Structures are given as structure tokens and as C-alpha cells.
Chains A and B, each alone.
Chain A
């Protein structure tokens, strides 16, 4: 009888320790998950900010200014444009 009791007691101590350990692990994992989710949110925010930055750099007035002034680009006059039509060769006006 005493032996059985001792055994049961040991078993319950073991179970208690296991519960504590698994609870601890669960919390650690949960915090890791929490951290990653926070990181995902931050990246999302950063993505938005980068998109904003991109569209600021790619603003049309800026592109036009650079194209015209720095790269000296211009729209070709109609006489210099050749229209290539698909399918019906020789039908072009």
C-alpha cells in the first residue's frame, strides 16, 4: 500500500512538473509568435512607406523635368514616327 502511494505521489509530481514545463514552452512560443506578428506589421508599415516614397520619386512632374532637362528628351514630330501594323503588311497609310 505504501509503495503504491509513493508511486502515485512520484507520478503526480512528475505530471505537475510536466505541466509547468509545457505551459512555459507554450508561453515562449506564443511570445515568439507575437514578436513575428509585430515584425510582420512593421514590415507592412514599411512597405506602405516605401510605396509612398516610390510614388514621390516617380512623380510625373519630376519625371518630365528630368527627361526634358537632364536627358534632353523630346516628343518626336509626326513625320518621324513610323507606324508598324500587325497582320496586314503594305496596308499602312
Chain B
């Protein structure tokens, strides 16, 4: 191509005759006649060039556009993740039980980190880690290592300031539990990656979890965001969970339980407080417990939420159900006389006995004095199926369905496999096992008018909407409450469960533990109480496992725990006293001479007809 002008010039020079003048306007070049193939050649060449250009642009713009666009975007466009935070866990009054706050996680690309020994020392010091350990971590051929996760923001800023090569940071949320071991079992905890592993954190994982958002932006040379491109996907923060838990009552339950366990040198224990109007779980305390803020400890037996994952033979605390069934079937009245002498009964070769032999007792007194023989006699009047139906309908043998991980259904064998002795022992709570949660729930039947309501971990806004299934008639429930009040009166099994100023209905339980298939000389002391007995608001169930002190009876070990928790909970809720305080005060001074309706009920049937202000 470059040769044509040269040729042209040479030819024109050759044609010029030297010396002959010519006018400037008439250039000899213009007089040249060019061969026509030249112009054709040029036209064709231009055409080919343009076609090549069009083809090239087609290739770039249409065929190869994705690749090129991607390359271009990667030069200036960045996809940013917008992190969403996990929902908080709050108690019923809005106090924080679990909250996430961002921390920095330090990671490194081992190939890029060429730290001098001094730098390594400095980094280890800032991370509060061992420098040899750190060197070992960095000495791998992997592309990515976590140096330390969830470092406090201040330390992270210092690390960033040192500008260690190949050491990077990113935001990560860390979960904090300000109430620590007190609420550990109910709240649970999360993994390092913010996934719920236990308790409410696991049960409500899908609600608590946030959805990260994303946006793509254009960044300038200084790394500042200049423009949003495309659409933004906004992050969805996790929802807050308002538990039914009242942290004041929880603290009271927890600290009282802890003290009682230390005093009685017990192995374990639990307290459950349930609101009888709504079925809300106001407190759930277990011992032993753990601190969810300390990750190194998160293993082993203390993690077990015993109140829902462990079942035990409750013993006498189940007697009221047998008695209620007797009332419901019309086979017995509160004042029916049951012969409990001579304190022993033999069924098919097995003997059931009372710790203290009783003579003839009314049904109410059988409950008050907790006579095994009396209960065995009552149970003999039912068919196994009747008893099984009743136990099943108050929720035994079924998971309570709170959503907690590892809830146990307890053990309630099918009725057609029962032996006669089993039916007798089940009447007083042996040969059947329940969790403390189930036990607390079943007592709401007596606290309400004979209906069983589902329990709730979550705060219930409108308690009127709670509906239950009728198990006993309202009349039976009221009579049972009156009987249960007797147990707490002097002459009953749990005078130490009394709460000054309030009428208490409750039942003690002292059960032998099974070890290796046989009953060992170890006990489970329990107490389940209902306060105030005139218009029940709370059911409190206490269980102390293997009390090792001088006393092991439910009334002496678990009763006082109940009394302390109940007194505090009633005060917290501002529930007015329903027993004359003055009489209660006199009782403190002169024990053994109370003059309340409940004791009169126990003394004789004729007074049952005219109770004054009583629950009947």
C-alpha cells in the first residue's frame, strides 16, 4: 500500500520536461490518466476493511460480550455483601437474654505473609495468642487460615494499623448472653457461624436467622463507592423473640435452686414456673448449668436441659391424678373412707407399704398424708385403660411439643401390657416416668378448671385465646385443689411449702431412683404447687435429684424452694394475698393451730357442706 504514492511521484517527475514553464494551476499530475483497476482495487480494499471491522465488532460486541463485560466489571465493579444481624432474644419485659454484636475475624493467606520474628511476636501479642502456635498456623500450604475469630473491634483496629502483609479481616457477629448461666438452658447458644445449636436458639432458628443482602457498586481509584449499579437486595434482619420468661422469676428460681442444691448436697435439680392462665413458661432453671459465653465449656452433662430432656419417676406427685380420676368416675368422694391399715398391701406377691402406717383415712387425707396403700386401693377400682387414658390425657408419655431439642415423652407403657402390681404402683407415681416440664404442665389441670393447655415458650399477647382440652370436670379440679391445700397444712407432707399470705395447694413426691433396673437407695425429691389456691395463677414444679443431706423428703428438700420462688413470683406479679396475713403471722408463732377452711375440710365431712370462702 505504501508503495503506490512513490510510484505515482516517480512517474510524474519522469514526464516533466525540464525548462518548460507551466502555470501553477495546471498541475501535470492532474493530467495523468490512471488505469481504472487502481480505483477498483481501492474500493474493494476499503470494502474488505470495513467488512473486517464490522466482523470484528460483531465478534466483540455480540459473540464475546459476556466475557469482555465481565472483565470490564471486575476492574471497577464490586459486589458487596450487606450482613444482616441475628434477632435478639428478650424476656417478657424486654430484658435482653441474647444479642449479636459485630466482631472482627482475622484471617491470613499463608503464602503472602512474610512476617519477621518481631512482627510475628507483635501479632501474637495483639491476638493474645501464642506466637509459636501462630507460626504453626501460618506454616501451611493452604490458601486460607483463620488466625483468630471474633476479635474485639479495638484489637482488630490495632492489627489493621500494623498493616501485616497477607493478614486480612472481616466482620462476623458474635452472640452474647448477658444473663449467662442463669438462662443457659432455655436460651441455648449458637455455633461460631451464628447457627442455633441448643434451646430457643435452635428451636426458633428460622425466625432468628437474618438473610444477608447484597449490592453491586462502582468503586473509584481510592476505593470509595461512587455509584450503585443494578438493584440492591436489602438485608433481612432476624426477628426478635419475646420469650414468656420473666427474668426476675428466673433469677429467683435459679438462685434458690442453686442454694438448695448446695445445702442438700444434691446431684442435680430443676424448677419450672408456669402461668396457669396462659400456659407461658415464666421460668425454667436447671442445675448443673453452664456459661454459654464461654465456648470452651460447651460440652458434657451440664448442657442437658434436664427439665425437658430427662424423665424421672415422680412418685407421690402423681397421686392427685389417681384421686381426681376416682372423683371423676364417681367411685369415690373426697370424704370416702379408705382403709389404709396396716400400712401394707400385697398384690400378686409384691408388697406396697407406707413409711408411716395409717389407719382409715378419707380420700382427702390419703392425699394429705400421701399414703401409698390408700392410692393402691383406689387404683384397684379402675380398669387399666381408664388409668392409661387419664395419664395420656394430662400429657404423660407424649412430648410436650415446645420445640426444644431432645424433649422426652417420658415412659407410659401401653395399658394392655400392665400387670396388676404396675397399676397399683403407677397410682402413686412409680413405673411411669415424666419430665419436670410434663409434671408442671399436668398440674395446670388442677390449677385451671380441669382443662389442659399447651405450654408456650413465647410471650402470649392475649391470654383469652388460650384454649385447652377438658380432662376433668371443673368440680373435680376444685375439689382436688382443696385436697392439695391440705398437704401444705400442718399434718400434711409439706408444711414448709407454705407461703405467708397466700393459700397454697401442692403435693410432695419422694421417689426412689432406678439404677440398673432396681430401686437404689437414692431419691428424687419433688414438689409441685399451685398458688394462690383460691384463684390459681402459677404452677411451680421443683425437682431435686439425689439429695445427699440429712433430709430427702420432697416436703423438706423441694418444699422450701417452692415457697421462696412462689413468694417472689407472686410479689413480682403483684398478685394480692388470698389468706389473712394476721392468721398466717399467728401460725408462725403458734405452729399447729391453723384455722383455715382447708384444714377443716380434712377433719370431717360435715364441714365440707359449708365452707366459708373456700374453693368449693
A24→B571 CA distance, assembly (Å): 65
Of the A-B pairs whose beta carbons lie under 8 Å apart in the complex, a sample of 15, sorted by A's number, is A34-B224, A48-B85, A52-B96, A52-B99, A52-B178, A55-B99, A55-B179, A56-B178, A61-B255, A77-B500, A78-B581, A78-B585, A79-B582, A83-B581, A93-B581
Contacts of B99 in A (CB 8 A): 48, 51-52, 55
Asked if A81 contacts B581 (CB within 8 A), the reply is yes
Q: B85, B96, B248, B584: which contacts A78 (Cβ < 8 A)? A: B584
Residues A59 and B178 in contact in the complex (CB < 8 Å), given A45-B102, A48-B101, A93-B580? yes
Q: Would you call A14 an interface residue if the criterion is a C-beta within 8 Å of the partner chain's C-beta atoms?
A: no
Contacts of B100 in A (CB 8 A): 48
Q: Hey, what's the 0/1 contact readout for A42-83 against B, CB within 8 Å counting as 1? A: 000100110110011011110010000000000101110101
Asked if B101 contacts A30 (CB within 8 A), the reply is no
Asked if A49 contacts B226 (CB within 8 A), the reply is no
Contacts of B85 in A (CB 8 A): 48
Q: Would you call B251 an interface residue if the criterion is a C-beta within 8 Å of the partner chain's C-beta atoms?
A: yes
Q: Hey, what's the 0/1 contact readout for B337-373 against A, CB within 8 Å counting as 1? A: 0000000000000000000000000000000000000
Asked if A30 contacts B227 (CB within 8 A), the reply is yes
Asked if A55 contacts B501 (CB within 8 A), the reply is no
Q: A55, A79, A81, A85: which contacts B96 (Cβ < 8 A)? A: A55
Q: Would you call B164 an interface residue if the criterion is a C-beta within 8 Å of the partner chain's C-beta atoms?
A: no
Task: For B576, give the chain A residue with the smallest CB separation.
Answer: A83
Q: Would you call A19 an interface residue if the criterion is a C-beta within 8 Å of the partner chain's C-beta atoms?
A: no
Contacts of B584 in A (CB 8 A): 78
Tell me, rounded to whole Å, the shortest Cβ–Cβ distance linking A20 to chain B. Answer: 14
Residues A34 and B251 in contact in the complex (CB < 8 Å), given A48-B99, A79-B585? no
Asked if B227 contacts A52 (CB within 8 A), the reply is no
Count of residues in A whose CB is under 8 Å from the partner chain: 24
Given contacts A61-B255, A77-B500, A83-B577, 11 further A-B contacts (CB under 8 A): A30-B228, A34-B225, A52-B101, A55-B95, A55-B99, A55-B179, A59-B179, A60-B248, A79-B585, A85-B576, A93-B581
Task: For B178, give the chain A residue with the smallest CB separation.
Answer: A55
Contacts of B255 in A (CB 8 A): 61, 64
Residues 13-56 of A at the B interface (beta carbon under 8 Å): 27, 30-31, 34, 45, 48-49, 51-52, 55-56
A21→B225 CA distance, assembly (Å): 18
Contacts of A83 in B (CB 8 A): 576-577, 581
Residues 387-417 of B at the A interface (beta carbon under 8 Å): none
Residues 224-241 of B at the A interface (beta carbon under 8 Å): 224-228
Q: A45, A56, A60, A75: which contacts B101 (Cβ < 8 A)? A: A45
Tell me, rounded to whole Å, the shortest Cβ–Cβ distance linking A48 to chain B. Answer: 5
Hey, which bits of chain A sit against chain B, CB under 8 A? 27, 30-31, 34, 45, 48-49, 51-52, 55-56, 58-61, 64, 75, 77-79, 81, 83, 85, 93
Q: Hey, what's the 0/1 contact readout for B4-41 against A, CB within 8 Å counting as 1? A: 00000000000000000000000000000000000000
Asked if B176 contacts A30 (CB within 8 A), the reply is no
Residue picked from A49, A55, A58, most chain B C-beta under 10 Å: A55
Asked if B178 contacts A60 (CB within 8 A), the reply is no
Task: For B250, give the chain A residue with the smallest CB separation.
Answer: A60
Tell me, rounded to whole Å, the shortest Cβ–Cβ distance linking B589 to chain A. Answer: 10
Tell me, rounded to whole Å, the shortest Cβ–Cβ distance linking B240 to chain A. Answer: 12
A55→B248 CA distance, assembly (Å): 13
Task: For B83, give the chain A residue with the smallest CB separation.
Answer: A41
Q: Would you call B508 an interface residue if the criterion is a C-beta within 8 Å of the partner chain's C-beta atoms?
A: no
Task: For A26, give the chain B residue with the smallest CB separation.
Answer: B227
Residues A52 and B225 in contact in the complex (CB < 8 Å), given A61-B251, A61-B255, A85-B576? no
Asked if B176 contacts A52 (CB within 8 A), the reply is yes
Asked if B101 contacts A78 (CB within 8 A), the reply is no
Tell me, rounded to whole Å, the shortest Cβ–Cβ distance linking A45 to chain B. Answer: 6
Q: A27, A78, A79: which contacts B226 (Cβ < 8 A)? A: A27
A75→B499 CA distance, assembly (Å): 14
A91→B349 CA distance, assembly (Å): 59
A26→B251 CA distance, assembly (Å): 55
A85→B251 CA distance, assembly (Å): 29
Tell me, rounded to whole Å, the shortest Cβ–Cβ distance linking B596 to chain A. Answer: 12
Task: For A81, give the chain B residue with the smallest CB separation.
Answer: B581
Contacts of A61 in B (CB 8 A): 182, 251, 255
Contacts of A34 in B (CB 8 A): 224-225
Task: For B254, give the chain A residue with the smallest CB separation.
Answer: A60
A66→B99 CA distance, assembly (Å): 25
Residues 169-214 of B at the A interface (beta carbon under 8 Å): 176, 178-179, 182
Q: Would you call B247 an interface residue if the criterion is a C-beta within 8 Å of the partner chain's C-beta atoms?
A: yes
Q: Which 6 A-B pairs have the closest CB atoms?
A: A60-B251, A55-B178, A78-B500, A93-B580, A55-B96, A79-B585
Contacts of A75 in B (CB 8 A): 571
A89→B501 CA distance, assembly (Å): 19
Contacts of A58 in B (CB 8 A): 95
Asked if A27 contacts B227 (CB within 8 A), the reply is yes
Contacts of B96 in A (CB 8 A): 51-52, 55
A61→B179 CA distance, assembly (Å): 9
A78→B563 CA distance, assembly (Å): 14
Task: For B180, give the chain A residue with the smallest CB separation.
Answer: A59
Asked if A30 contacts B225 (CB within 8 A), the reply is yes
Task: For B585, give the chain A residue with the smallest CB separation.
Answer: A79
Residues 52-107 of B at the A interface (beta carbon under 8 Å): 85, 95-96, 99-102
Contacts of A64 in B (CB 8 A): 251, 255
A58→B94 CA distance, assembly (Å): 13
Contacts of A77 in B (CB 8 A): 500, 585
